[in-house]
Amino acid sequence: MSSCLCLGPSQSGKTHLLMSVQSPGTITSVSTSVPTIGTNIFTIKLPTPTKTTTVTSTASTATCNKQKKAAAAAAASAKGVRSKNAEINILEIGGSMAPMWTSYLENVSRIIYVVDTSNLCQISAAGVLLYSLLADPRLRHTRILLVLTKMDLAYRQMRNEALLMLQIEKLKKEINQSITIIETDAISCSGHEKIIDWLRMP
């Protein structure tokens, strides 16, 4: 069975992020957490998109029937998404376990890689860790979500600076995997919808 991992350096914000995506509004600026020694599992609900297909009446019956069929197909596919992907389990592996991450790479279909944009000393090292991870042949077809977090902090690196420090353009040229990049923070929940959308992707 394929799985979804959440990785990233120590204290980069993995637990806070997943708690916040799991239960929006639970993380505040004074929330603290203990380092994950080992693993945590989070079950994230994947609500179906709120976009609804409405059928408007038209003069032509043929057009109306076509629209009804399209609406029925959309509803059926939405149902499929709901029943197939109603929730997903994400395994966070603590940053202190980085030397052992490779023991968890069998049958991994997705990786959420969390980078703390407020930690200037850690960003480049986070890039090196990501690079060595993605070189693993078991992750050749794994979908990668690069999460730039703690974007609420005034002293964070901006997106482009962080990506430069991660050497992401160079990385993209050398790997097969597709990388999606999302900026977020655990407090305001900005960017969480995009994370849910990414998790919902087949």
Ligand X SMILES: Nc1nc2c(ncn2[C@@H]2O[C@H](COP(=O)(O)OP(=O)(O)OP(=O)(O)O)[C@@H](O)[C@H]2O)c(=O)[nH]1
- Structural tokens at position 163: 């990506």
Backbone dihedral region of 143: left (phi > 0), alpha (psi from -120 to 50 degrees) or beta? beta
Residue 42 and residue 89 in contact, taking contact as beta carbons nearer than 8 Å: yes
Phi, psi of 15 (to 5 degrees): -65, -45
Q: Which is nearer to ligand X, 14 or 143 (CB)?
A: 14
The reply to whether 33 sits near ligand X by the rule CB under 6 A is: yes
Residue 14 and residue 6 in contact, taking contact as beta carbons nearer than 8 Å: yes
Q: Candidates 8, 122, 123, 147: give the one binding ligand X (CB under 6 A).
A: 8
Minimum CB–partner distance for residue 97 and ligand X (Å): 8
CA-to-CA distance for 131 and 166, rounded, in angstroms? 9
Residues 149-178 interacting with ligand X (rule: CB under 6 A): 149-150, 152-153
Minimum CB–partner distance for residue 49 and ligand X (Å): 25
The reply to whether 13 sits near ligand X by the rule CB under 6 A is: yes
The reply to whether 143 sits near ligand X by the rule CB under 6 A is: no
Q: Which is nearer to ligand X, 115 or 199 (CB)?
A: 115
Q: 31 to each of 16, 28, 90, 150, 186, how far by Cα in Å? A: 9, 5, 21, 13, 10
Residue found under tokens 């990388």: 179
Residues 47-106 interacting with ligand X (rule: CB under 6 A): 94-96
CA-to-CA distance for 75 and 195, rounded, in angstroms? 23
Minimum CB–partner distance for residue 89 and ligand X (Å): 17
Residues 23-82 interacting with Mg ion (rule: CB under 5 A): 36
Q: Which is nearer to ligand X, 75 or 158 (CB)?
A: 158
Q: Candidates 32, 60, 103, 160: give the one binding ligand X (CB under 6 A).
A: 32
Minimum CB–partner distance for residue 170 and ligand X (Å): 25
CA-to-CA distance for 150 and 160, rounded, in angstroms? 15
Minimum CB–partner distance for residue 185 and ligand X (Å): 4
Residue 21 and residue 195 in contact, taking contact as beta carbons nearer than 8 Å: yes
Minimum CB–partner distance for residue 14 and Mg ion (Å): 5
- Angle, CA 167 vertex, CA 164 and CA 173 arms, to 5°: 130
Q: Which residues bind Mg ion (CB under 5 A)?
A: 14-15, 36
Q: Which residues bind ligand X (CB under 6 A)?
A: 8, 10-16, 29, 32-33, 35-36, 94-96, 149-150, 152-153, 185-187
